Structure 1
Amino acid sequence: MKNTIFILLLFLLTGCSQQLVFERKQYNSSYSPNYTTSYNSANIKMEVLEAKNDDNINKIIFENIKELSSFIDSQNLTINNYNQLTKGFVDTYKNAKNKTPGNNIKNWDFELESNIEYETEEFVNIGINYTSSYGDASGFGGKRSLVFNKQTGNQLKLEDIFINPKAVSKLVEAKFRDKYHVNNAVSLNQQGYCFETGSFYLTNNVFFNIEGVKFLYNINEISSYDKGSYEVFLTYQEIDKYLLIK
């Protein structure tokens, strides 16, 4: 009886201290019946992090990757997993190709990779890098940040990360204006930017590293495509007093 109780307690203690473990998985698909350098080919390659013991984290990562796969926006596709996503990419290309005179359509390419950007005992920061090209459309790419509480598996929002997001936004804006030589006396949108609210706002793309926190605005997010992406970096010395997570 005592041995049974001991084993049960050991099991419970082990379960409570179970570590969050990620593994890499590949999901690829391609179509190239008459391959040439620029035409008649579709290729999708994804290297995805999946938590071995947290379905909620996996679901959130998947939904974000699905959202980044813009080829499905106007398609009547059922996509509930990565295999369906890669198949949907190729099937959508085939449909577009069949509707094109001479079945001649430029290549489609989609590549994605997710990585652990930073990790502590309290949280893990996952970064998703992606590039895409759909025929005649200009190639596009970017990076998305997801921050998770390791104990609950919940995704953390800005208000879960910072004590005072408004104060952090002012701090980031000051750095932004200084770095990109923005006139303080004139609104950002009057200087070629396109903030939806008409004024500066804090991005959700928050990346941690050993030295501090990076705030990333992807291509087309706050300015025209040709201007590229924008980023502001704050050291822990500058931002530590605002952090709710360590």
Structure 2
Amino acid sequence: MDDEDGYFPEPIAATYDESSSDMFAPDAVGPVVDFLAEQAGGGRALELGVGTGRIALPLAARGVPVHGIDLSRAMVARLRAKPGGDAIGVTIGDFATTKVDGDFSVAYLVFNTIMNLTTQDAQVACFRNVAGHLAPGGCFVVEVMVPELRKLPPGQHAVPFHVGAERLGFDTYDVATQAMSSHHVRVADGQATYFEIPFRYVWPAELDLMARLAGLRLRERWEGWAREPFTHDSGRHVSVWEKPAH
């Protein structure tokens, strides 16, 4: 791991957009931007883990002022190189604790990024940090998976998420600590490369308690950005917690 860039140093940043190309498709990005622009309501947006600008750039293009926080200079360099990238303010730092000036109508963490904080303490700190940045009536939006523990039979701790000729991916779980890791194997010209990214999985009810500790309250929870109902079979959720207006 590169100490300056966290778990997203140059080798990962260089191929990040291509490896996550499905998430950059218009049908994946559009509903996210629509939802967040509605939540912003003409105010400012704060993206935690802004990365290469998958959401920040199209959201800014919709007229929403966006500021980002990210630990990885390599990822932010990719953002800066894109059209409109220079217009996105970015603060380098850990989004659980890093402060920026001003207040925001909406803060958001998408694509499982809350799990990049690998301890419960850090996740709790993130909610408190966000609450301190929100204007009264502002909201915190999180998109994250529901832990896939139902896919684990007794004695097994790995769940594959991609199996192909050029790429293999699987998650490993420690149910005692809620630690998990995503393992990525890529094959090119007969040579394999491997990298691992650690996470901490977190339950919806646990996030609700973190929000309450930070003075936020759950306003809505959906399965996805198109506001599909969240049910016991949902594999992910989009949750919105708000800061009381008074």
| TM beyond 0.5 | no
Q: Quick check: which has more Rg, 1 or 2? A: 1
Q: Of Structure 1 and Structure 2, which has the larger fraction of its residues in helix? A: 1
TM-score band by shorter chain is under 0.3
TM, length-normalised to structure 1: 0.22
Considering Cα pairs closer than 8 Å and 6+ residues apart, tell me whether 1 or 2 has the greater RCO. 2
TM, length-normalised to structure 2: 0.22
